[in-house]
Amino acid sequence: MDVLERYEPIIDDFEAFRETCERPLPSVVRVNTIKATPERARRAFDEAGVDWTPREWNENVLEIDASPGTTWPSFHGWTHGQEEVSAIPPVALDPDPGDRVFDACAAPGSKTTQLAARMDDEGLVVANDNNLGRLSALRFNTERLGVTAAAVTNQDARNFSFGEFGFDAFDAALVDAPCSCEGTIRKNPTAVDDWSTGHVESIAGVQKGILQRAIQATRDGGEVVYATCTFAPEENEAVVDHALEETDCRLVDFDVGLDHVEGVTEWQGETFDPSVRKAKRFYPHHNDTGGFFCAKLEVGR
């Protein structure tokens, strides 16, 4: 836990933050609206004797008193076990039915399937991941949840090529970037055991390349959401700041209904574009969740 002390200057009520990080996460599921309505899923939990509690910010997110994958609504693909903050990026991106969406780092598919559900499973979600071993989980989840609008690809997102699909640009893109995963400490207490500044700096370079390619692949007026499950400004605001400098884009406001703080504009002697305040940091002690960062950009100026 000592790694987290580096963030004390930017976190309000640091003791509450630390205490929350030491508690297990609540058990949360997302209703898969391709196969069921929230009302139908709730009735199914009632009939199965599973207690549930709604999350006010999103009617499709429920806390349950059971392991998410052991319930029969999950077996039928009506619900999907998904950490609550993991449901933020598709809500922030909010694609329309018929859109062409690039999911740059898609496995194991929680956000891919959520994007498809928000699009009424109409259009195209190109679900890409560079890790071949993770594609089986991605395919399994798209099939279990009844997604037909997804196409799975295996490329390095930094050099992604989509000419085979027959169009020139995506309408929107999601970069749920690989990161140092500090924000997952409540479900994975060893997440920070191998933490190092070298790893943070190395993966930040990868993140910059992926986000830059996602912006390049999105049409003017299209939107790109960048997200991580880490607290490190090097992987969050610094990456977005790099995109603002190197690509044709701007940050835009968004709201998902969860308590948050704005992005930081200074960190360890570095300053970032003032507009990074439009990004959002979600801390465990604010919503009883994991930690998360999310920013939304519009391509073109």
Task: Give the phi and the psi of residue 248 in degrees, each rounded to 5.
Answer: -90, 90
Q: How far apart are CA 294 and CA 216, in angstroms?
A: 19
43 and 153 inside one domain: no
Euclidean distance between CA atoms 144 and 76, whole angstroms = 8
Residue 50 belongs to a domain with what CATH number?
3.30.70.1170
Residues 120 and 170 in one domain: yes
Same domain, 110 and 183: yes
Beta-bridge partners for 170: 218
Judged by DSSP in three states, 54 sits in strand
Note whether 296 and 252 are within 8 A (CB).
yes
β-bridge pairing 100-103 and 170-176: parallel
Prediction pTM value: 0.97
Query: Which domain, by its residues, includes 95?
Result: 2-24+84-299
Q: What is the CATH number of the domain that holds 219?
A: 3.40.50.150
* The predicted structure's pLDDT at residue 194: 85
160 lies in the same domain as 233: yes
User: What tens-digit pLDDT sequence spans the chain (301 residues)?
Assistant: 589 999 999 999 999 999 999 999 999 999 999 999 999 999 999 999 999 999 999 999 999 999 999 999 999 999 999 999 999 999 999 999 999 999 999 999 999 999 999 999 999 999 999 999 999 999 999 999 999 999 999 999 999 999 889 999 999 999 999 999 999 999 998 988 889 999 999 999 999 999 999 999 999 999 999 999 999 999 999 999 999 999 999 999 999 999 999 999 999 999 999 999 999 999 999 999 999 999 999 999 6
Do residues 246 and 119 share a domain? yes
On whether both 258 and 222 belong to a single domain, the answer is yes
Specify whether 126 is located in the same domain as 19.
yes
The reply to whether 73 and 58 lie within a common domain is yes
pLDDT value of residue 138: 97
Extended beta strands in 15-99, E state = 28-31, 52-55, 58-64, 79-81
Do 246 and 274 fall within a single domain?
yes
- Provide the annotated active-site residues: 229
Total structural domains within the chain: 2
A 10 A CB-CB count for 26 gives 15
Residue where a domain stops, chosen among 82, 99, 120: 82
Does one domain contain both 88 and 186? yes
pLDDT of residue 301: 67
pLDDT at 1: 55
Residues 39 and 122 reside in one and the same domain: no
